[in-house]
Structure 1
Amino acid sequence: MGSNLIGIIPAAGMGTRLGQLGNVLPKALLEVEGKSLLDHSLKLLESIGLTRAIIVVGHLESAIREHLSTIDSNLEITFVRQEKPLGLAHAIWCASSQIDADFVVLCPDNLYTEAQDLIDARERFARYEPAFLLLVTTEPSQQRDRRSYKICARKSPAANLFEYEESRPVDGGLELFSTGCVFLQKEALKFLPDFSQATEEHKFRDYLQDISRESVSLIHLLRGMRYDFSSPEDVQDFAQLQKRLSTTFGRGVSAILINEFGEILLQQRDDNPAIRYPGYWSLFGGTVEDSESPFAAVVREVEEEINFRLRNVGLFREFVQNNKREFAFAGEITARIDELTLSEGQGMKFFSPAELFELQIRPDDRETLENYFGVKHD
């Protein structure tokens, strides 16, 4: 499976979030770090071993064709036109006559910090042979129309890999968000609706649900970060973040550890006046060593501090604090409190989301938790 994988890049959108700029510039041609979003997507497809790509065009098609005539790419590129803006499933339907193998849909308005995430996803797509494999992250998208998914660790066949569920479970688990990338078997085309007379958009999540009712489908949780772009302001925010990161010294990690009941595990710091915030509650974490990645660091720190090996964990937030680059992760913890061994601090306890913000929590960890739950508490 997947040896002749085809890349599908939907680039026909109207770019309504661009305002007046969208009348003259396709969103896929927004420039980030000296290259268009479309260029980044093509390079990413090359990096995971693809040789063919179909670009679905529509709004300002000529601008995209002209741009691609000026760049070098090792991909064999085919263009397909989407006459009506009827959504992602419709874009695939428009390209379906050109799809003769398994394929990966990659929306160009996302950038990934770790190309290895997509390499791993392709390998898992080939190994487990799901009907589709959807890439998700623990960080909510700024685009309100992106679908969120809630999953449970008990349906995890491997680290950071979960079975797709049609309905959201009510008994805990991580809330995950689509990143605009999905690997699909060629046979998934038969689940597409007939758009020949369509006038309304068919929701992409409905298409995925139709597939999952017939075949096992999977969700792959990113270990790195993804940034999504829908406006020039997003590009400016990204540039400012990169500038701040370039002036930082040292790296740190923290972990939002969530059990099956949706409770968060916190550590109570020692009552030692020589340390910062003595007696406060905090997330588990520590310093990233020079030779390791943030992902490796958070796994190591949690194992050192409570003797638990994280399996399912994704990067939730990246920020700068006191000239230090911080990486906040969210992950599932499947052990009970009496199965853990605390090596730092004076105690640890699980708290419900309602209880969390009544506690005295270290300020940067409090901000991370507020970001995770989408709330602000004074």
Structure 2
Amino acid sequence: MQAVVLAAGKGTRLRPLTEDKPKALVEVDGRPIIEDVFDNLLAVGASELLVVVGYLKEQLMERYGDDYRGVPITYAHQAEQRGLAHAILQVESHIEDDFMLMLGDNVFRSNLADVVNRQGEERADAAFLVEEVPYEEASRYGVLDTNEYGEIIEVVEKPDDPPSNLVMTGFYTFTPAIFHACHLVQPSDRGEYELSDAIDLLIHSGRTIDALRMEGWRIDVGYPEDRGRATQRLEEATPEATASTRTTPEAETD
């Protein structure tokens, strides 16, 4: 399965760390975040890495070139950072079938393989990991609203008043149907084309959506303090634990 990595953002909330480098090259536990992303994707069978670049893109392209550990890399340029749905459209012409998507600033030690396996079994138009976060943090993410049966009825991006504390994480699988939805998305109040709005369109059109509970942990490195937390979590793990929790549901949760 092809894997898309979104790494075009300026990382303004991570400044001063991103004043002279793209966010994906900010180091966590001694190496760039994007290498952790690449390793996670290779571990669940990525056949090609499609990297959406933008801010200071030359640094990423020169550092990694045409392949990472033998897996080919294709770059797509997002000239203006206009949201995740807009970023995904930059790779539309390169996608051949179902694909994985990971945000280039997330550190995962969780059950990514469960999402990939579910995609292979059921071919949902969108499948992703979800987790519960403190209510005061939910407004940082795409938040899920569910009915009394636990079915997803809406996805809301960074709401001021979150309908729940159940949020999407930064790993997904999609069929090519997501591209049509992304083309239909209108700019949000933030002026961006939101991925959550595209997924919401899939939901309301009756497409199959699978949300799997995350087992293990992940840290969205959006602020300098998140970088410190991610580094601490990785340093606490032994090499054996790190390898075993990368893609399996036995990851530690404490």
- Please confirm whether the aligned pair reaches a TM-score higher than 0.5, indicating the same fold: yes
- Find 1:186's aligned residue among 168, 171, 176: 176
Cα gap change, 1:242 to 1:206, in 2 (>3 Å): closer
Q: Which ranges in structure 2 are unaligned for 5 or more consecutive residues?
A: 157-162, 239-248
Kindly state the Cα deviation for residue 165 of structure 1 after the two structures are TM-superposed: 2.1
- Find 1:232's aligned residue among 215, 219, 224: 224
Cα gap change, 1:143 to 1:74, in 2 (>3 Å): farther
The equivalent of 1:91 in structure 2 is 87
- Name the CA distance, whole Å, in 2 between partners of 1:164 and 1:7: 25
Q: Deviation digits for residues 46-77 of structure 1, max 9, x if unmatched? A: 10011111100110001111221498423211
Secondary structure at 1:85 match in 2? coil
- Name the CA distance, whole Å, in 1 between partners of 2:38 and 2:234: 22
The equivalent of 2:53 in structure 1 is 57
Alignment pair present for 1:201 and 2:189 = no
Which letter maps to 2:57? E
Aligned residues: 234
Verify the 8 A CA contact 1:30 1:232 in the aligned structure 2.
Answer: no
Q: Deviation digits for residues 183-232 of structure 1, max 9, x if unmatched? A: 1101221222269xxx9411221111111122121111111111121233
- Find 1:219's aligned residue among 191, 208, 211: 211
The equivalent of 1:134 in structure 2 is 128
- Find 1:104's aligned residue among 100, 103, 115: 100
The equivalent of 1:121 in structure 2 is 115
Kindly state the Cα deviation for residue 144 of structure 1 after the two structures are TM-superposed: 4.4
Secondary structure at 1:13 match in 2? coil
Kindly state the Cα deviation for residue 153 of structure 1 after the two structures are TM-superposed: 7.8
Cα gap change, 1:26 to 1:201, in 2 (>3 Å): same
The equivalent of 1:322 in structure 2 is none
The equivalent of 1:274 in structure 2 is none
- Name the CA distance, whole Å, in 1 between partners of 2:27 and 2:214: 24
Which letter maps to 2:107? L
Alignment pair present for 1:146 and 2:141 = yes
The equivalent of 1:47 in structure 2 is 43
Which segment drifts farther, 84-93 or 142-151?
Answer: 142-151
Which letter maps to 2:200? Q
Sequence identity, in percent?
25
Cα gap change, 1:34 to 1:188, in 2 (>3 Å): same
Verify the 8 A CA contact 1:53 1:75 in the aligned structure 2.
Answer: yes
Verify the 8 A CA contact 2:76 2:91 in the aligned structure 1.
Answer: yes
Calculate the TM-score normalised by the size of structure 2. Answer: 0.80
- Name the CA distance, whole Å, in 1 between partners of 2:49 and 2:38: 8
- Name the CA distance, whole Å, in 2 between partners of 1:205 and 1:83: 21
Correspondences of 1:284-323 after superposition (within 5 Å): none
The equivalent of 2:154 in structure 1 is 166
Correspondences of 1:246-257 after superposition (within 5 Å): none
Verify the 8 A CA contact 1:143 1:230 in the aligned structure 2.
Answer: no
Verify the 8 A CA contact 2:116 2:173 in the aligned structure 1.
Answer: yes
Calculate the TM-score normalised by the size of structure 1. Answer: 0.55
Which letter maps to 2:17? L
* RMSD of aligned alpha carbons: 3.2
Secondary structure at 1:78 match in 2? strand
Q: Which ranges in structure 1 are unaligned for 5 or more consecutive residues?
A: 156-162, 248-294, 297-313, 319-326, 328-378
Which letter maps to 2:47? T
Which letter maps to 1:223? E
The equivalent of 1:363 in structure 2 is none
Kindly state the Cα deviation for residue 96 of structure 1 after the two structures are TM-superposed: 0.8
